[in-house]
Amino acid sequence: MGSFLEDVNRQINGVDLQNCYHCQKCSSGCPMAAAMDFKPNEIIRMVQMGQRDLLLRSSAIWLCASCETCVTRCPNAVDIPRMIDILRVMSLNAGVVPHDREVIQFHESFLGTVKRGGRVNEPIMIATYKLKTGTYFKDVGVGLKMFLKGKLSLFSPRTKNRKAIRRIFSSTAKS
Amino acid sequence: MDYSYYPGCSLHSTGKEYGESVEVVSRALGLKLHELDDWSCCGATSAHSTNFELSVALPARNLAIAEKRGLDLMIPCAACYNRFKSAQHSLAQDSDLKNSISKSLDDDYSGSAVIRSPIDIFHQDVGLEALEEKVVKKLKGLKPVSYYGCLWLRPPEICGFDDTENPVMLDEMLTSLGAESRNWSFKTDCCGGSLTISKTELVENMVNRLMRMAREAGANCLVTACPLCMANLDMRAHEDVQLPTFYFTELIALAMGLEGPENWLGLHNIDPLPLIKSLKLL
């Protein structure tokens, strides 16, 4: 097994992170930078310096909104959103409990309904999320309003061939 | 003109007025949509944030279904569009990935599907002149800013939209409908996307800023082509800055005098009807 940097570069499978010369264009245009504990170019530097544990525990990797502004503007075409997705998966595999656990709980709730029905069932997804996080009363007003307008149907159509969906989930599952 | 059609999950629930208006407008413009047989979810942000292979395989299943018919594939949701385009790109770049993903699919995947947005189809295939000819009620007095968001546009080499930093297709269509489209610098800023549930406060700040900037540009409404942007703009803006947001297809239907807008607009959280009625558009 190579270094942390080599590992991340191999998974990016494109432009290596050493190409970043820290012009900070990514961090300047990032809509989430102000809320992050480490800014996008700092994350790159930390990967370069092998600061694995600190990064996998960071809140920044879960706050990235995947808007892709950074990679679009990067003069060296460094794929920062892909790097962040790789760090997220590493963090999950390492079993790290991050500060922003609710972001992960949202993803789990979302993918859970896809796995079961082939499509997202929004009311069930939100109910699962609330059970996981204990945020029972948040957004109740707006949720009720949408429900009354018929925008949150409990019986939205599902994919018929659910065997095909289960096969996709099992064949891409991480050991 | 015939197209395959992938509505995606949101267009059956939180974005149902978008789904209905896309279908009604397409029909009225002479486009025949063929919904993909037994389609499934694209995986959205949640898949690519937690499992790269899954985020490629979920769209690949739908792409393989679309390939069988061979028609251009219309995807009205920006998030689905982005996931489909990204998956197709990753599979074209990496033959090992293509081999392993193909094994988990029922249908053969070749990568031949042409993935398109309704913005591009209405603008390019129908055309602005043909659109303008169908207008029976000009949207006079409506001053929209076009809000494109992220996922139609970025990264540019994958999305292939008209211009990454200053897209104009929506603006041009709105002008064809007789609206007084306003220019602004926040066309492609992020709304916060799926963080709306887990990081609500951050998303409120982002949306409030968009609303303030739209007001500064002299707009009386925003126009979007994404059900996630709509959900955030429509539900997360604070009362003192709120402006109504429309799906571009709702406004096309309104200008063409089609059935539906009154029902669709009634589904919005920030009520757009006072504005529309004050301009005598309904």
Q: Where are the domains of chain A?
A: 4-93, 101-172
Distance (Å, whole) CA B165 – CA B186? 9
Distance (Å, whole) CA A162 – CA A169? 11
- Closest partner residue to B13 (CB to CB) among A65, A122, A139 is A122
pLDDT in tens, chain A (175 residues): 689 999 999 999 999 999 999 999 999 999 999 999 999 999 999 999 999 999 999 999 999 999 999 999 999 999 999 999 999 999 999 998 777 789 999 999 999 999 999 999 888 898 889 888 888 888 888 888 888 888 887 777 899 999 999 999 999 997 4
Distance (Å, whole) CA A114 – CA A20? 37
Which of A114, A124, A161 is the best mutation test for B, with the most CBs of B within 10 A? A114
A146-162 pLDDT, tens digit per residue, is 888 888 877 778 999 99
What pLDDT is recorded for position A33?
Answer: 97
SS3 sequence, B86-131?
Answer: HHHHHHHHCHHHHHHHHHCCCCCCCCCCCEECHHHHHHHHHCHHHH
Query: Mean pLDDT per segment of 10 residues, for chain B of length 282 residues?
Result: 97 94 98 98 96 98 98 98 98 96 96 98 98 98 98 96 95 98 97 91 97 98 97 96 98 98 97 98 96
- Closest partner residue to B41 (CB to CB) among A118, A129, A149 is A118
This model of the complex carries an ipTM of 0.94
CB atoms within 10 A of CB B47: 26
Distance (Å, whole) CA B2 – CA B66? 13
Question: Please, are residues B244 and B275 in contact by the beta-carbon 8 Å criterion?
Answer: yes
Is domain B127-278 annotated with CATH 3.40.50.11810?
A: yes
Distance (Å, whole) CA B77 – CA B114? 15
Dihedral over alpha carbons B88, B94, B95, B99 (to 10 degrees): -70
Is domain B2-116 annotated with CATH 3.20.20.150?
A: no
The listed CATH number (3.40.50.2000, 3.30.1360.200, 3.40.50.1100, 1.10.1060.10) that belongs to domain A4-93: 1.10.1060.10
CB contact under 8 A, B40 and A164: yes
From chain B, the residues in CB contact with A129 under 8 A are: 197-198
B15-35 pLDDT, tens digit per residue, is 999 999 999 999 999 999 999
Q: What share of chain A is helix, strand, coil (3-state, %, to 5)?
A: 60, 0, 40
From chain B, the residues in CB contact with A72 under 8 A are: 153-156, 164
From chain B, the residues in CB contact with A71 under 8 A are: 154-155
Distance (Å, whole) CA B156 – CA A136? 40
From chain A, the residues in CB contact with B192 under 8 A are: 31, 65
What pLDDT is recorded for position A161?
Answer: 97
